[in-house]
Amino acid sequence: MNLVATRISARSSLGLSRRSCKSSAELSHRTPRMVQRSVLYTYPLAKEYAEYQEMKKQAMVIDPMVIAATPKVISSTFAEPWKVVTVPESEIAALKAMHYDGFEFGKTLYNIATYREISNTNPFDKDPLALKDKLQSRKPGEGIFTNVATGPYGQREFKYLYLIDTSGMHIIREMMPCEASSRGVPLHSLIKLRGVIGGEIFFDDQNPRVAYVNFGSARLTFRNSGEAENAAKFILSLGYDKIVAVYSDRDFSTAPYGMKDRYGESLANAVYVRESL
């Protein structure tokens, strides 16, 4: 993070006065008029940077190593799915054919939602380069995510954060140290500064082509069940055979999606499978 200092310096306007009024002895001997000029520096300010580092240290209450060492307990269960959707291969093919280089901000992307800025962010946690080399990214048709930790839904050490933008879907494991974060672990706002939807994803321990997804990003939350459904179809288009999407059949504009929708017992879910199965 570059902290910016602005110094107000002064310069004399005397020369200008003399040039424009050479014949005026009074002006040529007048005390110089001082004009403020802002000079922008982009070097880190040592004192402020040290204070920022201390603030981050105090905010880092999550220790990924401790959580990883806890007993393996499944924290969530699923109810019978309230909907099972068979997705035609034609829809999968259409998603694979979409290209969004230079995509216009504010337009619908991948049939999911509008391409928009992330919201509800801590200003210290907006750095899209912080996780650049740690992300896995996929576009429709490029294949499933590989070398991921697999485990039961709801168990935090197996959780990945995801965000979908013009260049596809990006994931990162949440329970890993992240010095750029005020929480000590990766955040959606450190993945990208723009996108269409975000949330959490878990990968099945038995079948690598099965994933469990929710829409619990406060930075890029979903607004209705249609966005959730189209996001699930997008994930199928990467190469998955089955997506268990954790959300219920209700109006989220009157009752926003919250923690109780994502974790607990008998979670509402909709299942999406490829037509070819």
Q: Do 34 and 165 belong together in one domain?
A: no
Whole-number Å distance between alpha carbons of 119 and 218:
7
According to DSSP, the β-strands at 113-114 and 168-173 are unpaired
Specify the pLDDT at position 105.
Answer: 82
Count of residues making up the chain: 277
Q: What phi and psi, each to the nearest 5 degrees, are found at residue 148?
A: -105, 155
Q: Do 29 and 104 belong together in one domain?
A: no
Q: Do 214 and 259 belong together in one domain?
A: yes
Nearest-CA neighbor of 215 among 204, 203, 226? 226
Does residue 150 form part of some domain? yes
Instruction: Read off the pTM.
Output: 0.77
Most confident range (mean pLDDT) of 18-22, 132-136, 151-155, 238-242 is: 238-242
DSSP labels for 166-210?
TTEEEEEESSS--TTSTTSS--GGGT-SEESEEEEEEE-SS-TTE
The string of pLDDT tens digits covering residues 42-74 is 445 667 767 766 766 666 666 777 766 765 556
According to DSSP, the β-strands at 210-214 and 197-203 are antiparallel
Does residue 140 form part of some domain? yes
pLDDT over 70 (residue 14)? no
Q: Do 247 and 119 belong together in one domain?
A: yes
Contact 220, 249 (CB under 8 A): no
Does residue 53 form part of some domain? no
Q: Do 113 and 233 belong together in one domain?
A: yes
Q: What token pair was written down for 24?
A: 């005026």
Q: Do 28 and 150 belong together in one domain?
A: no
Contact 200, 187 (CB under 8 A): no
Specify the pLDDT at position 180.
Answer: 84
Q: Do 70 and 36 belong together in one domain?
A: no
The string of pLDDT tens digits covering residues 156-170 is 889 999 999 999 999
- Provide, rounded to the nearest whole percent, the portion of the chain with pLDDT above 70: 75
Q: Do 85 and 37 belong together in one domain?
A: no
According to DSSP, the β-strands at 113-114 and 108-109 are antiparallel
Specify the pLDDT at position 254.
Answer: 86
Q: Do 79 and 25 belong together in one domain?
A: no
37: containing domain:
5-44
Specify the pLDDT at position 57.
Answer: 63
Segment 14-20 shows an average pLDDT of 41
Q: Do 238 and 107 belong together in one domain?
A: yes
Specify the pLDDT at position 73.
Answer: 55
- Provide, rounded to the nearest whole percent, the portion of the chain with pLDDT above 90: 51
Q: Tell me the pLDDT of the chain averaged across its residues.
A: 81
Domain count, the chain: 2
